[in-house]
């Protein structure tokens, strides 16, 4: 079985490169039968889905596909349904669509301890107690990260924070839904 992740951007690949070894069941290995395919934004991702679904539907081995995109200001369900429709029209592969609410940076703010480990001068306790950060999926991710951590830059930040993200205790529902959804998807025949 082959697993393909079609991702909106390189920072998602940086995060998954750290998380997937902790999540993937036996038999899956990064860069062997599990591949991360970052794109250059939403349009690039959505334009490539039909092509890739056709190719992987005719592949020499079964392929499962995971598509990940930031929600940003879109309606989550409409965006998810659009991506599902692109998959259903274009191929026969099993697929899972996950929308990151609102942006990938919300996952970081869901684990302020990981942010502090990556940036030791950052004081996680100062933010963990604030009601504003109780549901990080409601925050404008990248803008909020830049506000509380001016040194933060999207690509480099994903590389620095990702190794410290814990699979447990993250306040981002989107993060937790991704983990549980992926585990369920991979356990299905």
Q: At 146, phi and psi to the nearest 5?
A: -65, -30
Residue pair 123/92 in contact by the 8 Å Cβ criterion:
no
Structure tokens belonging to residue 86? 């692109």
- Tokens 């899956």 appear where? 28
pLDDT means over runs of 10, the chain (189 residues): 97 98 95 98 97 94 96 94 94 94 96 98 95 94 94 95 97 97 93
Q: What is the pLDDT of residue 146?
A: 95
Domain positions in the chain: 2-104+172-187, 105-164
Which of 61, 49, 58 has the alpha carbon at shortest distance from 96? 49
pLDDT value of residue 158:
97
CB neighbourhood size of 170 (10 A): 23
Q: What is the pLDDT of residue 164?
A: 98
For residue 90, the model assigns a pLDDT of 86
């Amino acid at each position: 079985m082959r697993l393909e992740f079609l991702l909106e951007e390189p920072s998602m690949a940086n995060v998954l490169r750290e998380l997937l070894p902790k999540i993937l069941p036996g038999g899956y290995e990064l860069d062997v039968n599990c591949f991360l395919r970052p794109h250059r934004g939403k349009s690039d991702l959505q334009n490539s889905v039909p092509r890739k679904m056709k190719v992987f539907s005719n592949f020499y081995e079964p392929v499962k596909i995971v598509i990940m995109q930031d929600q940003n200001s879109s309606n989550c369900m409409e965006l998810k349904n659009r991506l599902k429709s692109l998959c259903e029209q274009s191929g026969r592969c099993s697929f899972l669509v996950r929308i990151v609410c609102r942006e990938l940076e919300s996952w970081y703010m869901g684990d302020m301890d990981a942010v502090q480990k990556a940036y030791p001068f950052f004081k996680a306790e100062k933010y963990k107690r604030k009601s504003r950060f109780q549901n990080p999926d409601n925050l404008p991710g990248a803008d909020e990260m830049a506000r509380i951590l001016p040194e933060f830059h999207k690509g480099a930040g994903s590389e620095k924070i990702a190794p410290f993200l814990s699979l447990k205790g993250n306040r981002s529902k989107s993060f937790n839904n991704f983990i549980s959804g992926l585990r369920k998807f991979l356990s299905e025949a």
